[in-house]
Amino acid sequence: MRLVWAISAALALGGCMEGAPPVSGAGGGGQGAEARKLSAGMTQAQAEAVFGLDAGFERNPANWDESCVSYAYGDAATPRYVHAVFRGDTLTRATDGHGAICTYGAAL
Q: Can you tell me the distance from the alpha carbon of 63 to that of 31, in angstroms, rounded to the nearest whole number? A: 24
Cβ within 8 Å of residue 30, ≥6 positions away: 22, 95, 96, 97
CATH number at residue 40: 3.30.1450
Domain limits at 58?
2-107
- How do the pLDDT tens digits run along the chain, 108 residues long? 544 444 444 434 444 444 433 333 333 468 889 999 999 999 999 999 999 988 999 999 999 999 999 999 988 899 999 999 999 999 999 999 999 999 987 644
Longest Cα separation, the chain: 47
Q: How many domains does the chain have?
A: 1
Structural contact between residues 98 and 70, judged by C-beta atoms closer than 8 angstroms: yes
- Return the sign of the alpha-carbon dihedral for residues 104, 73, 43, 41: positive
